[in-house]
Amino acid sequence: MMIFELPKLDYTKSALAPIMSEETLDLHHGKHHQTYITNLNNFIKDTDMSKMTLEEIIINSSKDKAKIGVFNNASQHWNHLLFWKCMKPNGRGAMPSKLEKRIVSDFGSVEDFKKKFIQAGITQFGSGWSWLSIDNGKLVVDKTPNAENTLVHNMKPILGCDLWEHSYYVDYKNRRPEYLENFFEKLINWEFVESNLD
């Protein structure tokens, strides 16, 4: 039977400071993400879903309103697995060329993509996520509410930014645009994003 576990981060909890503080990562990784995993394991225990992969649980539960609790926790587990990988200490730097070519081809320029991605994050009302996803071979920017991601819209998310207040309130209070700007400019691990193109 499938038991989901909290992954170790690829960096120390203080490595993203001051862009994202140790206090934020302690709470976000150690408490919020852990809670989604604990809830998910409790939901699927002794059910058919305990034999499914995480992606199968997400797709299956997204189609059934009675399974909203499973969906929320499974999807949030998946979203956070991606989110931790999307960041690294001293992120951004030069965008790797294969990814840059795809972004320029689908958005016009890196600057246009950045504007779209940040705008999606700013305009998501309440909790949610902003995404860069592959939709039928094309890169697209999207936003989703709460636990939802673009997997349930038949896309492949390759970059996600957590817009829940638990991700930025300790460090930025209500200043979500500043959090998004800093996330984009100083935290994104573009090599990881590029590796998701395949």
Q: Point out which residues bind Fe ion (CB under 5 A).
A: 162, 164
> Whose CB is nearest to Fe ion?
162
Nearer to Fe ion by Cβ, of 107 and 183: the residue is: 183
User: Cβ 162 to Fe ion, closest distance in Å?
Assistant: 4
Nearer to Fe ion by Cβ, of 164 and 169: the residue is: 164
User: Cβ 28 to Fe ion, closest distance in Å?
Assistant: 6
Give the Cα separation of 133 and 156 in Å (integer). 5
Give the Cα separation of 172 and 165 in Å (integer). 9
User: Cβ 166 to Fe ion, closest distance in Å?
Assistant: 5
The answer to whether the CB of 140 falls within 8 A of the CB of 130 is no
Nearer to Fe ion by Cβ, of 108 and 145: the residue is: 145
User: Cβ 127 to Fe ion, closest distance in Å?
Assistant: 9
Question: Helix or strand or coil: residue 40?
Answer: helix
Q: Radius of gyration (Cα) for the chain, nearest Å?
A: 16
Nearer to Fe ion by Cβ, of 76 and 189: the residue is: 76
**Cα angle at 30 between 34 and 68, to 5 degrees?**
30
